[in-house]
Amino acid sequence: MKVELIHLTPNALALCAGAMSKCYDKNVSPASVVKYGVQSGHFSVLEHAHATFDIECSLAVLGQLTRHRHLSFTVKSSRGAMSHYPGDYDCPRSIQSHPSATKHIEQTFQIYKDLIQSGVPTEDAAYLLPKGTITKLRVTGNLRAWLEYLPKRLCLRAMPEHREVANEIKRLLAFELPEVFANVTTPCDTCKETKCEF
């Protein structure tokens, strides 16, 4: 799992403050964006600034990440590029120690490679790839979209690999914009689940 912050709108809070100034026909400070935009729910002002990340994660996490409808994605093509073993594969520790699982994955990637070498289109052979296959993507979201994404995937009920991705995104955003992201946390106070384990 890798997460890299590629781009953040320069002077993000000042840009959002400029937008908020329209509401009241007077200059608004970045501190007001935090007070009213983040803490009081005037969320649209946060949609003017964007953060872009490069992520390497499993196809399993990709499937979950793309459920967040306000994020924008560009993903490695399983038709236009091959996946290689062992570099492009990872899986939870709970199955790493099972020799039969490891053997199964090795064989699967070998058959995938053999099929492509024998002329089967890469896009067809890709149907064999397991969910632990690592993919690469670039994802962009406005600050509001990230604020809505993070609590759901920081939650202990989220899948561990996806939680790692979310924690890293939060760490990087909180470093750049601590006023907005440092206090983002799980929605435990309103949660209706009876236990944290999934």
Ligand X SMILES: Cc1cc2nc3c(=O)[nH]c(=O)nc-3n(C[C@H](O)[C@H](O)[C@H](O)COP(=O)(O)OP(=O)(O)OC[C@H]3O[C@@H](n4cnc5c(N)ncnc54)[C@H](O)[C@@H]3O)c2cc1C
The DSSP secondary-structure symbol of 23 reads H
Nearest residue (CB) to ligand X, 88 versus 161: 161
What backbone phi and psi angles, to 5 degrees, belong to 69?
Answer: -75, -10
As a dihedral over the C-alpha atoms of residue 68, residue 74, residue 77, residue 82, rounded to 10 degrees, the angle is -100
- Is 1 or 101 the residue whose CB approaches ligand X more closely? 1
Q: Minimal distance in Å, beta carbon 190 to ligand X?
A: 13
| Beta carbon nearer to ligand X, 49 or 154 | 154
Token output for 64: 């979950």
> Which of 153, 157, 163, 171 does the annotation list as catalytic?
153
Shortest CB 197 distance to ligand X, Å: 11
- Is residue 79 annotated as part of the catalytic site, yes or no? no
Distance of closest approach, residue 62 Cβ to ligand X, in angstroms: 13
The distance of closest approach from Cβ of residue 49 to ligand X in the complex, given in angstroms and rounded to an integer, is: 17
Where along the sequence are the contacts to ligand X (CB under 6 A)?
A: 67-70, 148-149, 152-153, 155, 157-158
C-beta closer to ligand X: residue 47 or 101 = 47
Beta bridge partners of 139: 53, 73
Closest CA to 153 of 39, 1, 8: 1
Spatial neighbors of 129 by CB under 8 A, at least 6 apart, are 59, 78, 83, 108, 112
Q: Which residue type, as a one-letter code, is found at position 75?
A: V
Catalytic residues: 153
